[in-house]
Chain A
Amino acid sequence: MSEEAKAAVAGEATNAPEAAEALLEVRELATHFRTDDGVVPAVDGISFSVARGETLALLGESGCGKSVTALSILRLLDYPPASHPTGAVLFEGRDLLKASERELRRVRGNRIAMIFQEPMTSLNPVYTVGEQIVEAVTLHQRVSRTEAIERAIEGLRRVQIPEPEKRLANYPHQMSGGMQQRVMIAMALACDPDLLMADEPTTALDVTVQAEILDLLAALQRERGLAMLFITHDLGVAARVATRVAVMYAGRIVESAAAREIYARPLHPYTLGLFRSLPRMGRRPGRLYQIPGQVPSPLEFPAGCRFHPRCAWADGRCRVEAPRLVEHRARHAAACWRTGPEGLPPIEEDEA
């Protein structure tokens, strides 16, 4: 291990160097699921932080644990089958994992709001949009109905829905997917939260609509100093919204850095593989790079580094000993034995 790597491990606050300013700080969070086939370690000891005004993108493919992470933070999973999350989730210094159900209700939807991929499944089809936003407001804040309606109109205007007064009377199905997602954002922001957790909020939308929603989120964030935890599988979307990026693989964070840094200089073989396998507009390499094999089943995660069976750099140590997330460059951490400040060593690749 290099000197700086050792120092970083000793410091331990590898990917949360500004813990003092962090609005949300997650430490060694772990959530397991009990299934008939065994225990699934969906999230397996991850740590990160989100500061006010910044966006952390949690990037990963299906099943990597990114959504379970968000749900664990607000303790929204049913248990059983989920285990009670272990570790710590410090929100303004208070541990949400130890909070009472009553305390939690004051945080959920109020201080920490959440939006999901499918607006249609989150909106109630039998109530008008107006009724739903008014409910979100009155649930958390002592305001009169008239005032709540005023706020709902203001909320719709803020998410750039034309003619908000008229739209209040609409049912969700009378709106397009993009408009529904705007309504969801308006509801999420109705109580002026400090943190917005967005789980693939634009994945179901067309690319032109997605661009509008991402612009809207960025503008709202600037206006209100909102912190965002943005969960996505899309490398392009993460590049557009994130201040920092944490890449997840098989229940663990494998790399974390400022967005510019990670895209310019990925240190982990999985991150590198993801970047290289993505087709890019204006470049036709002929054949796409492939990460060999497939994501392992969470019931049988490999020993050592969970990526080692698919990794061209893996050696004996990778097969037995799990690497920790270690800062190899300033504020750039990776969980890999083979990488270093200069990135991965060159190897002979038989197939690109």
Chain B
Amino acid sequence: MSENALLEVRDLVKHFPVRKGLLGRTVAHVKAVDGISFDVPRGKTLGLVGESGCGKTTAGRCVLRLIEPTSGQVRFGGTDVRALRGEELRSLRRNMQIIFQDPYSSLNPRMTVEGIVGEGLTLHKLAKRGERRERVAGVLERVGLSADAMDRYPHEFSGGQRQRIGIARAVAIEPGFIVCDEPVSALDVSVQAQIVNLLMDLQRDLRLTYLFIAHNLAVVEQVSREVAVMYLGRLVERASPEELYRHPLHPYTRALLSAVPEPDPETGRERIRLPGEVPSPINPPPGCPFHPRCSEAHAECRELRPRLTEVRAGHWCACLRVGGIAEKPGEPAPPSPAAATEEEPV
């Protein structure tokens, strides 16, 4: 286990009950996150990618305990996040923030920008009344907004500027860790570049650690030190972006990468077609969750659940056909790799 992992997640599970009938009897569970483990080294970024419904957003919220996990471990700076209550939890929250996808719905329309960005400072008693304006002005400037934005309301700003306000809110209380949940997905290309650069600058200057959740593979590659791919509540592959994008091993990752439209009409890249649709997470297929759509599935894939296995140095894959080992029932999660052994700050 990596010593400088700021966040360690082990066997994280979140099952949502599906209730039916007058008495609200639980008839099934949506297995949104079904046993995932990862580390995020201090000052680095783990990119979590996957398509709608794969569980990436739920995973991010479980880490912050915005949603209570069903089981598993979340350790932040060595502290067991799931054991915290009341004041302890509140002080931990000071250190963990989130940036949301939609800058239109995540800002309170009735609050001024000063109120939005300064709320955390007041809540955590980080600034006296007289200092607050000054602190907020400083943060706004840091994210590329002028101080006169302070007395205005969110609707007066463009999408990109609103996302800057959302970022200012998150960094105002000087957290160590931020979950970025699709922070640029709602933005135009030219604005996206500005926000991605801003997030990377802030990381460098403030020594931030990010869990960067997104479906855009190119954006994730740009920002991440390591990338993990999710499918149906499970991690199927994890590696450095250089390795993952050049040598994807898992059949799902390969199909996913091949589906990304390249901004170049001359690319003659062959697309790997995926038959069918993503199965329901209420009743995921037994064995490997990807097997019904996998062209390489064998009989064993239908029965045995592959675990994330280090098949090459620093390259982890959950596939029995590419060197993966099957999970034994009730087996604890494998130890996580020491993700940050080398320099290369990202």
Chain A residues with a Cβ under 8 A of chain B: 61-62, 176-179, 206-212, 214-215, 233-240, 242, 259-260, 263-264, 273-275, 277-282, 284, 287-291, 294-295
Contacts and interface: CB of A to CB of B under 8 A. Distances in A.
Given A233-B189, A291-B190, A240 B261 contact: yes
Interface string B214-241: 0111110110000000000000000001
A207 B219 contact: no
B263 interface: yes
A284 B193 contact: no
Nearest to B192: A277
Contacts of B51: 206-209
17 contacts: A61-B188, A62-B188, A176-B277, A177-B52, A179-B277, A209-B51, A209-B277, A211-B271, A233-B188, A235-B189, A237-B261, A242-B265, A264-B266, A277-B189, A279-B216, A287-B200, A288-B222
A300 to B, nearest CB: 13
B263 A208 contact: no
Contact of B265 (A61, A260, A277, A295): A260
Contacts, number: 120
B261 A259 contact: no
Contacts of A179: 277
B263 A239 contact: yes
B197 A290 contact: yes
5 smallest A-B Cβ distances: which pairs? A236-B261, A277-B193, A61-B188, A235-B263, A206-B51
B189 A274 contact: yes
Nearest to A241: B261
A238 B263 CA distance: 8
Nearest to B52: A206
Nearest to A208: B259
Contacts of A214: 261
Contact of B194 (A177, A236, A290): A290
Interface of B: 51-52, 158-161, 188-194, 196-197, 200, 215-219, 221-222, 241-242, 245-246, 255-257, 259-267, 271, 273-274, 277
Nearest to A61: B188
Nearest to B191: A294
Nearest to A259: B265
Nearest to A62: B188
Nearest to B220: A279
A241 to B, nearest CB: 9
Given A206-B52, A284-B241, A288-B222, A273 B260 contact: no
Contacts of A264: 266
Nearest to A287: B197
B259 A278 contact: no
A236 B193 contact: no
A116 B274 CA distance: 24
Contacts of A288: 193, 196-197, 222
A236 B271 CA distance: 14
Nearest to B293: A208
A61 B190 contact: yes
B265 A263 contact: yes
B218 A279 contact: yes
B194 to A, nearest CB: 5
Given A62-B159, A178-B277, A290-B194, A206 B215 contact: yes
A349 to B, nearest CB: 15
A289 B222 CA distance: 12
Contacts of B160: 294
A281 B245 contact: yes
Given A176-B277, A207-B256, A284-B221, A279 B215 contact: no
Contacts of B218: 278-281
A30 to B, nearest CB: 23
A260 B266 contact: yes
A208 B262 contact: no
